[in-house]
Amino acid sequence: MRNLLKNKRALITGGSRGIGAAIVKRLAQEGADVAFTYFSSAERADEIAKATRAHGVRAIAIKSDSADASAVVAAVERTVAELGGIDILINNSGVLAMGPIDTFTLADFDRTLAVNVRAVFVATQAAVRHMKEGGRIINIGSCNAERMPFPGGGVYAMSKSALQGLVQGLSRDLGPRGITINNVQPGPIDTDMNPAGSEFASMLIKQVMAVPRYGRAEEVAAMVAYLAGPEAGYVTGASLTIDGGFNA
């Protein structure tokens, strides 16, 4: 690691597991102080925070429900208060609800938009009030924004597609201020919610993937670290896919 993020302050939403936890670890390895939100397991969050501090950085775990706009703003404000500012925002929290259009509930529809779209806007709006030139905003989208090859995923795909329009539009607002905003769009990644050893994964690897394996959360985190760093200052308004050829 090259310590490219030394003295930077980052907030990662949904940082206690899977891709989010890998991002927390990678940014800390690059020297950033980190705050991250979690929804349910305080014990898991405490473990992540303790492991992160071993890299010699500050780490804060914040209990927050991304479906609650006021809680999202509070997480940003606590990050600023305890870390002394915010330079990097990673909008990673997300939910996945799937089902046929005939039976898809309005409650699932509303929560999907609240977490996958509204929370991204709310956190971004709150963070940019504190960001200076060089700020970075990175959303964790999905390759399903561009390809949903299975029935029942329309609402999820719509929520991730919305992020493409958001970053393209907000890049115009934030570019003159020296702040970049981008999406990272993972494909199938080996996590506890989507394990590489499942029957579903075997089907994807055989029938859909160009690279015949699931991705690793650390690979997504590496792309995020690049976008968060000084070498990516000319990348904004982009949706960058890391999907093993799922969308190829």
Work out whether strand 88-91 and strand 9-12 pair parallel, antiparallel, or are unpaired: parallel
pLDDT of residue 188: 97
Does pLDDT of 2 surpass 90? Answer: no
The DSSP secondary structure of 181-223, one letter per residue, reads EEEEEE-SB-BTTB-TTSHHHHHHHHHT-SSSS-B-HHHHHHH
In whole angstroms, what is the distance from residue 201 CA to residue 12 CA? Answer: 27
CB contact set of 77 (below 8 Å; sequence gap of 6+): 126
Please state the rounded mean pLDDT for residues 218-228.
98
125-158: per-residue pLDDT in tens?
A: 999 999 999 999 999 999 999 999 989 999 999 9
156 included as an active-site residue: yes
pLDDT band at 84 (very low <50, low <70, confident <90, very high): very high
Q: What is the mean pLDDT of the chain?
A: 97
Q: Select which of 156, 214, 226, 234 is catalytic.
A: 156
pLDDT of residue 1: 67
Domains and CATH numbers, the chain: 9-242 (3.40.50.720)
Token reading at 231: 């070498």
Token reading at 90: 């990673």
pLDDT band at 50 (very low <50, low <70, confident <90, very high): very high
Instruction: Identify the helix (H) or strand (E) that includes residue 239.
Output: strand 239-242
Terminal alpha carbon distance of the chain: 31
pTM over 0.85: yes
Q: How many CA atoms lie within 13 A of 27 on its CB side?
A: 33
